[in-house]
Structure 1
Amino acid sequence: MTSIPDYVDLDEFDRQKALYGPFTDTVRELVDATIRTEVDDEVIREVQATIAAATAKLRARQLDGAFGRRFTPTGQSVMWGNAGVGLRNAIAPPLVFESDESGRHWTDVNLGAAYEGPPGLVHGGVCALVLDHLLGVTASKGTRRFTGTLTLRYLRGTPLGPVHATATIVGVDGRKATVRGTLSDPDGVTVEAEGIFISPAAPN
């Protein structure tokens, strides 16, 4: 087991990003292939043995616990284990956020077979994950805030495939920010969201 350093050197950060990004993409492909494959039993057993051997190699040296949060010397947050945006987390789609001068934030992501709930549709909890993270990023512009409440209205099922999510702050009251957002497929909005996000209290 190894411990997590407080800071990541910038050159080392770039090296690891270039190394683990493609590696994690390959694992995402493996997850998708695991769900959709129809090869013969013999091939499944052969691949299982290969994956087990690869897993044993990776576990030869690993962190003591979760990845957590690190910072580069310039203050950039490194959360590569995060379920929404983690560079090293094959569960993460991953989400990439954009914004404009008005404060609106959005993300476009393809949610494939690994995110299925009802047949052919995105799991409702995955929709919540996308919106919670997006609304939180929107609320935290300039002031870090965390989810206090999140209310979702599912208008209809969200088909697997490309989705677009957008969010905007609609009010600020002291430490609280109210944010509204939507998740859409190519035919329109499928989920509406409203959340209250709260900045931590100042230490005494």
Structure 2
Amino acid sequence: MTDTEDHIREFARVKPTSGTPQMGRFIAALRRLQDITVATDPDPALWDDSAALIEDICARLEQHRAPAGSAPAGRATNLPGNGHPLMPPWQVMAASPDEVTMAGSFTRFHVGGNDAVHGGVIPLFYDWHFGMVVSAAGRPDSRTAYLHVDYRRVTPIDAPLRSRAWIDEVDGRKLFVRATMTDADGNVLSEANGLMIKLLAHQP
């Protein structure tokens, strides 16, 4: 057995799954709630009423907690953002051992100002995309050592975008990755490069 296979055996990998239509509906509603929350200014009483509804939902879902790695959020590859509300609603369009292409858009929830995507959301997206490259390459679980982003243009919301990430170099435990995000006209909005390092068996 190779060192890579040993590592995979000793480190519990997160296994992909499919989200149900009902989960997809819930996540879509939750994303809408995020957008509405940052785009409205209701009367204080409505904040209270809405909070009570959300607190009730939380209490109901709390009864169904699942162990780490068992809950489908973050693993549901058929849902935007893999069914995780932290991730922007993008999905993998093509994947190979060398590169992964994703497509999607950002929404009001991701705005930093003037309908432009917050600068901090872009590195979050690339970090997630680089993780997709690690998985597609069949490499063991890795952590981000560094991630550098060059912002070329303002990234808009509510517009179809694409991002392509690929392996630039492999050096033992080190995987050097690059990526480019473009709009529908092919304009480069940002570029990124990063280093993903394979975890050792004892590392969390």
TM over 0.5: yes
| Aligned equivalent of 2:149 | 152
How far apart are residue 33 of structure 1 and its match?
Answer: 2.9
| C-alpha RMSD of the superposition | 3.3
Determine whether 1:28 maps to 2:28.
no
Using the alignment, how far apart are the partners of 1:67 and 1:179 within structure 2? Answer: 33
| Aligned equivalent of 1:200 | 199
Question: Residue 100 and residue 31 in structure 1: after superposition, are their counterparts in 2 closer, same or farther (change >3 A)?
Answer: closer
Using the alignment, how far apart are the partners of 2:102 and 2:68 within structure 1? Answer: 22
Using the alignment, how far apart are the partners of 2:93 and 2:66 within structure 1? Answer: 25
| Aligned equivalent of 1:162 | 160
Q: Paired residues, what number?
A: 180
| Aligned equivalent of 1:119 | 114
Question: Deviations 1:54-76 (Å, cap 9, x if unpaired)?
Answer: 12212325559x9774149xxxx
AA partner of residue 156 (structure 1): R
AA partner of residue 200 (structure 1): L
How far apart are residue 129 of structure 1 and its match?
Answer: 1.2
Using the alignment, how far apart are the partners of 1:129 and 1:200 within structure 2? Answer: 20
Map of 1:90-105 to 2, 5 A cutoff?
91-101=86-96, 103-105=98-100
| Aligned equivalent of 2:83 | 87
- In structure 2, runs of 5+ residues without a counterpart are 1-11
Question: Deviations 1:36-67 (Å, cap 9, x if unpaired)?
Answer: 457xx5xx456434422212212325559x97
Question: Residue 49 and residue 118 in structure 1: after superposition, are their counterparts in 2 closer, same or farther (change >3 A)?
Answer: closer
Give the match's secondary structure for 1:117.
Answer: strand
| Aligned equivalent of 1:19 | 22
- In structure 1, runs of 5+ residues without a counterpart are 1-5, 7-12
How far apart are residue 203 of structure 1 and its match?
Answer: 4.3
Question: Residue 103 and residue 25 in structure 1: after superposition, are their counterparts in 2 closer, same or farther (change >3 A)?
Answer: same
Question: Residue 122 and residue 100 in structure 1: after superposition, are their counterparts in 2 closer, same or farther (change >3 A)?
Answer: same
Using the alignment, how far apart are the partners of 1:166 and 1:52 within structure 2? Answer: 39
Percent identity at matched positions?
Answer: 27
